[in-house]
Structure formats: structure tokens, C-alpha cells
Amino acid sequence: MDDILSDRSVVEQLRAAVQQLSERGLLAASKWASELLLSIPQERRDNPSDAPLLSQPTDPLQAKILERHPHAPRMPSIPEAQLQAERSLELSEADMYAAALACFNTRDFSRAGHKLIGCMSAKSVFLRVYSDFLASEKAAERDWHRLNGTRDQPHSPVNENLTELLQHVVNAQDCFLLFLKAIFLSRLSHREGAIEACLLSIAGQPWNWSAWELLGTLLGDPDELSSLLPLLPLPPTHPIVQMFQIKTLNEIHQPSEHELKLCEMLLSPGMFPHSAWIMSGRACVLYHMHDFQEAERQFDAVLAIDPYRVDNIDVYSNILYVTDSRLKLSKFAHEFLGRDRDRPEICCLVGNHYSLRADHEKAIKYFRRAIQLDRTYLAAWTLMGHEYVELKNAHAAIDSYRRAVDVSKKDYRAWYGLGQAYELLNMHQYALYYYQRATALRPYDIRLWQAHAACYQELGRPREAIDCLKRALLSADENEINIHYKLAELYFAIEEPGEAVAYHQRVCEVCFMQERPAQEYAKSAIQVAVYNMSIPSGDLEKARVYLERIASSNAEEVAKATELLKSLHAMLAAKPPVTPAGANSVGLPSIHVEQGPPQH
């Protein structure tokens, strides 16, 4: 495949991929490719042009970034004679393959694999090994359920046939057999080998989305993704590479403006303007960036195009939960539950509906149902942990969060939940450890640094708490006042009043500038005034202005401000008069009193 794509090549490749994936029973990847194909407007599919689809870098620095690693896998060039021999084998085995595929499609995996014993084509070998793998997975699941309620039951089923299955594909060159090899190596915890097999598989069939998803699960953080991009057999400007970036960063909850721009480019009229998958990916990016209103609008647009789409409906329900959209969440919960009760995403949607109504027991029931349908469903484990925290059942919450971590160590929410659960048990040293794990995955999350600070305070380590709150300020809004107030309190606790007053001063400045009610800054204003009244070089005029603001308000500190004003007036009266150069005609000093917020 050339690096330069055109409409014609994309349409032809997607059509070929849909057929190849369907013939091999890779139904999820086939569905994804077919939906992406349909997202290209009809006129472009009927009359595809040969104009380049990808823009080329004009900046020399960008061009350097796009250079591939010398060891990156290249698109395979298979000799025509070998292709012809493979086609002949496939033709001679066509009837047997059709029978095996029929068994596979009816989930009779053991019979499908048995029918293909002795078949030699790569296509037949793939379906036989894949069928044997799925049959062994069913058997492992069955054996696992037999141990329900016993101490011998592991956290997840154990497939003991993986090593034997790997031997059938260990020297494979076919891209689909390499995909199976990647699956087996991944399950056997051979991460590097699995990544290499994934890359080689993608080189042979770039539109096999299941291979990309598997590759994404093998990456731990954005740095690993950045290191991998030069090793890909496709340039970073290729649409599927950009989709992979969006998907991977959404999975580890760290998308940025860059991923948002990628989504918008992929949805442009010359690309895939009707792709519900890309729209949904964009909505998830906005959700992780906390732009909930725009994310909700994007999900509404997705459902307008495809009202029966269930993928990512759980993320949509999270958005409605956060924005407290009770009626809308209730409507979708009843609507989707009536369509299909056996989809974990729908159970999660209904669980969020009950959680928003504070019916935590029913919420747990539906999250547990989602887990029964898919024990690897990370969101359900995490959300069930949240419900147990609400019920103050710390031990059950810890169990749920640990199961979430077992599924994926890349989700900061499970680590954060573990920290909260241990805080409920007043085990702050344990909580601190889990908060550190969460922060390593999401270093710019203000809540995590504040949780760190709270733990350090409980452990009697105020200086570490101060460092954490200062780190939180780096990502905070410029008009944030709560962190400044906490920092001020901590500096007072370690007897550094000068630093403390500086943070109280910032609280007052923000509140004055935004004309917030006096209740929000009354304590800070009094602290600033008291400090200026207590030091020889204090600004008594500032103290007077601040105290007059509080004394004339309806804040709780009115009485204290009034008393301090009396003391301040006495101090001003006792102060020797100073006649500056700008004195008035009767010899009184011209005092400027700030009537509004300070100018910056």
C-alpha cells in the first residue's frame, strides 16, 4: 500500500477488508470496516477520485517527525506465484471451508475446527486455530464457573491451551495468522512479542480494527504511544493511525486538543463525514476534557444518525449523570432497556440512572448485571465501587476497584477509587499510595493532587501537602480560590503568616474582580487585615478597605470585622499625622480609598 491514499484506494481497501474479515469470522472488525465504508458519501463511493486523501507535511520539522524508524515493518510484497498457489488451495478447500464457517457462525466452534483438520491454506488454518481458541475459551469459562463461591476460583478463567495453540502460528507470515499470534502472546504476557506480531499483522491488513484495538491494550501511557508511532507500517497522517491515536488516548483518559482536531479533520467532507464511530470518539474526547455540554451535543448527533447504536452509551450516561440531566437519563434508560437487557453498556446506563436518584442498591444490581455479561467490563467494576463508597461499604468498594485494576491498570479512576475507599477506613498511608498510582496516569488532574494533599494533612505532613496543592494550581483555573484558601491555612499551620496572607490576598483579589458575594472571601479578607494591623509596616489602608467590605455585608464575620474596624480606627487616630507633598489646603493628607477591585 502506498503512503498516499486516494478516495479510490480507500474505498477499494475497505471493501476488500470487509470481505476478508467476514470470511474469517472477525465479525466485530468487519462491522467496524463496513460502517466506516458507509460513512463515505454515496457519490464518492460510486465515483471515487484518484486525488490524494492525505495532506503532506510542508514544515521540515513535521516531515522529520513523520520519518519511520528503520526497523518499522513494511507492507509485505508477496510473490505472484505464492499468491496463485494460495488461491488454488483456497479453491480446492472452498466447500469444506464453507461448512466450517457455517458451524463457526452458529458458535459451534469445536465442529468448525474439526472440519478443517488437514486443510492447508492460510485461510483454513486461521479459521481452524481461531475456532479451537474460542472453543477452549468456552471450556475455560465453564470450568471457572464451576468454582463459583470457592476459594480455589481465580479472578478470571485460565485457558491452558494457549501455549499449544501458539505453536500452530509461531512461524506464521499471513497477516491474519499473525493477528492470532499477537492474541496468544498477549494472553501469555509476552508483551514485546505481541506488539511485534500486531505490527506485522497491521502491515498486511491495515483495516483490521481488532488488531489495532489489541495493540492499544498493550500500551501503558501516551509516551509509549509516541514511541510506537514511528514503528507503525503506516504514516501518522493515515486515517486509521489517527483513529488509533484517538481511541488509545480515550482509553487511558488523556486526550487533548490535538485529538479533538484529528476528529474534526476525519469528519471533514473529504474524509468520513458520516462516521458515527468518529463522532462518538470526538464526544469521548470532549468528555475527558470536561467539556460536557459539547460532548452531550455530539452524542445527540450520533443518536440522531444511528438511534440504535449502543457503543459508548455508557459514556453518554456518565455525561448526563455529571450534568444532573435526570429526565434525559431516565428517558434513555427506559428506552434502551426496552430494546436489549443483555448489553453491559445498557446495564451501565440504567445503573447510572438509579445512582443519580440515590437508589444505590438498585444501581449496584445493574452494575453487577453488566459484570455478569462481561467480567472485563471496566466501567461497571469502577462504578459499582463508587456506589459502595456512597453506602460507606469500604471493603466492598475496595474489592470492586481491585477487580477493575485487574482488568486494566491504565484506568486512573479505579486507583483513585481505591484511595477514597482506604480514606474511609482512615488508612491514609495506603490511600496515598493509590493516589500516587492514579496521578502517574493522570498527572494534570487537580482532584488527584488535592486528594494527595488531604492525605498528607491527615498524616501530619503539611509541607508535602503544600507541595501537592501548588502542583494542583498549575492545572487550575486562574480564578480558582479553594486551593489558594487551603494553602493559606496550611502556611498558617506551619507558622509562615507572610506566605499565608499572600494566598488569602489572592482569594480576595479574585473575588473582588468577579464581584463574588462577601461570604466567599470574608475569612481571607479578615486574615489579610489582621496581618497588616499586626506588623509595623502593615498597609492599614488596605486593612480598612477590606474590613469595611465585610462589615457592610451579610457574612457571618460581620461582628468580627466591626470589632477589628474599631481597633483599626484607634490605631489610625494614634498614628502621627504625615503631610505628603500633595496635602490639601487645610493641611490634611489626601487619602485614596479603593472603591472597586484592584486593577491588574
Q: Which three cell numbers stand for residue 534?
A: 499586626
pLDDT of residue 595: 36
pLDDT digits (tens, 9 = 90+) for 158-191: 889 999 999 999 999 899 999 999 999 999 999 9
Instruction: Report the distance separating Cα 25 and Cα 132, nearest Å.
Output: 13
Q: Which three cell numbers stand for residue 26?
A: 472477525
Average pLDDT of every residue of the chain: 88
| 595 to 45, 542, 549, 566: CA distances (angstroms) | 68, 11, 10, 20
| 266 to 17, 40, 216, 262, 315: CA distances (angstroms) | 20, 11, 20, 6, 21
Longest dimension (CA), the chain: 116
pLDDT digits (tens, 9 = 90+) for 570-599: 888 777 655 444 434 333 333 333 333 334
Task: Taking residues 551-571, report their average pLDDT.
Answer: 88
Q: Reply yes or no on whether the pLDDT at 55 is more than 70.
A: no
Instruction: Report the distance separating Cα 129 and Cα 114, nearest Å.
Output: 10
pLDDT of residue 63: 40
Task: Taking residues 481-495, report their average pLDDT.
Answer: 94
Q: Which three cell numbers stand for residue 498?
A: 507572610
pLDDT digits (tens, 9 = 90+) for 398-449: 999 999 999 988 889 999 999 999 999 999 999 999 999 999 988 889 999 9
Q: Which three cell numbers stand for residue 496?
A: 509562615
pLDDT of residue 598: 39
Of 264 and 65, which is predicted with more confidence?
A: 264
**3-class SS at 52?**
strand
Instruction: Report the distance separating Cα 209 and Cα 35, nearest Å.
Output: 12
Instruction: Report the distance separating Cα 229 and Cα 232, nearest Å.
Output: 5
Q: Which three cell numbers stand for residue 348?
A: 451501565
Q: Reply yes or no on whether the pLDDT at 58 is more than 60.
A: no
Task: Taking residues 523-550, report their average pLDDT.
Answer: 90
Q: Which three cell numbers stand for residue 120?
A: 492447508
What percent of the chain has a predicted confidence (pLDDT) above 90? 69
Work out the number of other CB atoms within 10 angstroms of the CB of residue 141.
Answer: 14
pLDDT digits (tens, 9 = 90+) for 500-525: 999 999 999 999 999 899 999 999 99
pLDDT of residue 597: 38
Task: Give the least confident one: 97-111, 331-345, 430-444, 555-569.
Answer: 555-569
pLDDT digits (tens, 9 = 90+) for 329-384: 999 999 999 999 899 999 999 999 999 999 999 999 999 999 999 999 999 999 99
Q: Where are the alpha helices (DSSP H) in 24-77?
A: 27-38, 42-46, 60-65
pLDDT of residue 478: 86
Are the C-beta atoms of 369 and 347 separated by less than 8 Å?
yes
pLDDT band for position 68 (cuts 50, 70, 90)? low
